[in-house]
């Protein structure tokens, strides 16, 4: 039996309450809050993101984040590469809102969940474990995620933090996670995201999300860090289907152009290239 991992307990545990759900332990921290492993009345495991008012300097940004989630919730089940949002709630007295999501796969046991050993499977963990991913797997991921971003953008929303650790798997399907940063394109004024995945002009637009996805594909297809872009692996001669790799790299280079005017303007433009 593997060693039991240490359970992380939040200092907020005594003030957080989600109706009909037992909050078991913190399994991650993201934008402005934390993610809990939870179990509902039917015994089904879920992920619950709790966002605290006190992490914002002013009320307006807090309300903007809640508005983004409310706008995303109805479309979250419209694409297989969106995390399903099952419920959104708030607690004004204790100063937080929360949303309940489907739970990502465990790194070893998929949807067979053992709370004491649960570790979410993310794209970042896959690359750390396996190194460069097979070419066809990279292409499938690129098609799935660019299609998801296209739907998101057509609904007037942007993700703002596309990166490997924000891509999880549910029953093996890659999904955009940490949707706490999803915002209305017209409201996405705050500078958020992760260094190296943010384009020169900053986050908060459809072309910025495209840039971030390009950097994700760079990391998973080359095994290199985003800060090494556009450097390629030194031993490409042994790459199976080298021509196909070169084609993928051309898509990545176009997605990651520093000049926003020369970049793919929409996620669909990127998707249609394959």
Q: What are the extents of the domains in the chain?
A: 21-101, 123-272
> Residue 6 — pLDDT band, cuts 50, 70, 90?
very low
Q: Which CATH class is domain 21-101?
A: alpha beta
Give CA–CA dist 123/274, Å, rounded: 21
Task: Give kind and range of the element (H or E) at residue 5.
Answer: none
**Is residue 7's pLDDT more than 50?**
no
The SS3 call for residue 60 is: helix
Structure tokens at 203: 């986050």
> Residue 82 — pLDDT band, cuts 50, 70, 90?
very high
* DSSP secondary structure, 190-254, as one string: S--S-TTTS-TT-SSSHHHHHHHHHHHHHHHHH---GGGTT---S--TT-TTHHHHHHHHHHHHH
Structure tokens at 209: 């999300």
What pLDDT shows up at residue 4? 46
Q: Which CATH number fits domain 123-272: 3.20.20.70, 3.40.640.10, 2.60.40.10, 1.10.510.10?
A: 1.10.510.10
> Residue 178 — pLDDT band, cuts 50, 70, 90?
confident
pTM assigned to the model: 0.89
């Amino acid at each position: 039996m593997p060693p039991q991992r240490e359970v992380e307990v939040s200092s907020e545990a005594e003030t957080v309450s989600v109706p009909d759900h037992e909050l078991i332990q913190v399994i991650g921290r993201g934008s402005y809050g934390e993610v809990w492993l939870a179990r509902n009345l039917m015994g089904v495991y879920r992920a619950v993101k709790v966002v605290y008012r006190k992490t914002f300097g002013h009320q307006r940004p807090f309300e903007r984040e809640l508005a983004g989630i409310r706008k995303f919730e109805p479309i979250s089940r419209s694409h297989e590469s969106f995390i399903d949002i099952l419920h959104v709630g708030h607690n004004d007295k204790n100063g937080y809102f929360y949303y309940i999501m489907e739970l990502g796969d465990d790194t070893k046991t998929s949807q067979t969940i053992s709370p004491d050993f649960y570790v979410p499977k993310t794209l970042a963990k896959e690359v750390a474990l396996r190194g460069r991913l097979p070419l066809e797997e990279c292409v499938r991921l690129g098609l799935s995620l660019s299609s998801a971003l296209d739907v998101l953008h057509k609904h007037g929303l942007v993700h703002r933090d596309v990166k490997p650790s924000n891509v999880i798997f549910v029953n093996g399907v890659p999904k955009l996670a940490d949707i706490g940063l999803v915002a209305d394109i017209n409201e996405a004024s705050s500078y958020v995201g992760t260094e190296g995945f943010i384009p020169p002009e900053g986050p908060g637009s459809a072309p910025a999300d495209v840039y971030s996805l390009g950097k994700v594909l760079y990391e998973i297809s080359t095994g290199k860090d985003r800060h090494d872009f556009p450097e390629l692996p030194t031993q490409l001669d042994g790459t199976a289907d080298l021509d196909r790799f070169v084609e993928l790299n051309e898509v990545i280079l176009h997605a990651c152009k520093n000049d926003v005017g020369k970049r793919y303007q929409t996620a669909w433009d990127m998707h249609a290239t394959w």
